[in-house]
Amino acid sequence: MNKLGIKIAEKRKILGMTQIEFAEKMHVTRQTVSRWEAGTAMPDIDKIGEIAGILGVSCDYLLKDDAVETDAPQTKGIGKLLKSLTGKTVRLAFFDEEADIDLFNTPCRIMDFEGNWMRVTADTKKGKIEKLIPVSSVLSMELVKEEN
């Protein structure tokens, strides 16, 4: 079993949730959850934020083998500023090597910040998308004026 699978299984059990209940919350099959926990499959990166939210842990805790779970997220300095952008519409600029083609020059709504990750939604040519992106890939954010 990989560490991600171990962490998912442990937290799910601590919460008293069956694989079926967890799968229903994640909108996947019980077999998918079983494969994640057994380490024979990995969840898509865009599912990590949802898994973290359901289990009450950070994305960093799930994704980093050496990360330890903390009792409460620490929100200081830049973290407080980022949290204040939750629900706001922004235009993101990325570092060249981190560019996200789906979000290039596209207004997107910040849904949540979790550790070093942020979940955003955007209406693109492909339709409405939701993405989990590393904050470290963002060069700048420009607030987009909301239309009433």
> Model pTM?
0.51
What is the fold of 3-63? 434 Repressor (Amino-terminal Domain) (1.10.260)
Q: What is the band of 72 on the pLDDT scale with cuts at 50, 70, 90?
A: very low
* Nearest in space to 130 (alpha carbons), one of 147, 106, 95, 146: 106
Q: What is the band of 1 on the pLDDT scale with cuts at 50, 70, 90?
A: very low
User: Do the first three CATH levels of 3-63 and 78-143 match, i.e. the same topology?
Assistant: no
Strands (E) in the chain, as ranges, are 89-94, 107-114, 117-124, 127-134, 138-143
Domain borders along the chain are 3-63, 78-143
What percent of the chain is modeled with pLDDT above 90?
Answer: 31
Query: Does domain 78-143 correspond to CATH entry 2.30.30?
Result: yes
Planar angle of CA 35, 54, 2, nearest 5 degrees: 35
